[in-house]
Amino acid sequence: MKKIAVIFILTAGVMGGANAQSAFSNGFRMGQNAFNSASDNALKEKAQQMEWDRMRRQYGTPALDRLDALDKEAPQLAAELAETLAKVRADKAK
């Protein structure tokens, strides 16, 4: 009877050990995949950032530059517009 019990215990131990090893290696693999993926993403992001900065240097920011140029001239343009509108009103009143 004691022998049978020992055999059962040993069998359970071996099976438990095998399962634990399998769980450990699965967990390890998952962790490794996550690490690789995070590292890939970081590299990808860095590469995209560098490409973005290169394009910005190469092409500049024409839309923002145009906006700034117009903004600088805005007081003069507004004065000219006000004058034109006053002339239009005067013509209409004739």
Question: Which residue number, 20 or 78, has a Cβ lying nearer to another protein?
Answer: 78
Note the residues at the interface with another protein (CB under 8 A). Answer: 45, 48-49, 52-53, 55-56, 59, 61-64, 66-67, 70-71, 74-75, 77-79, 81-82, 85-86, 88-89, 92
Q: Please give the Cα distance from 18 to 29 (Å, whole number).
A: 16
Tokens standing for residue 15: 């099976």
Question: Which residue number, 29 or 46, has a Cβ lying nearer to another protein?
Answer: 46
Q: Please give the Cα distance from 6 to 20 (Å, whole number).
A: 21
- The least distance separating another protein from the CB of residue 23, rounded to whole angstroms, comes to 33
Q: Please give the Cα distance from 65 to 85 (Å, whole number).
A: 28
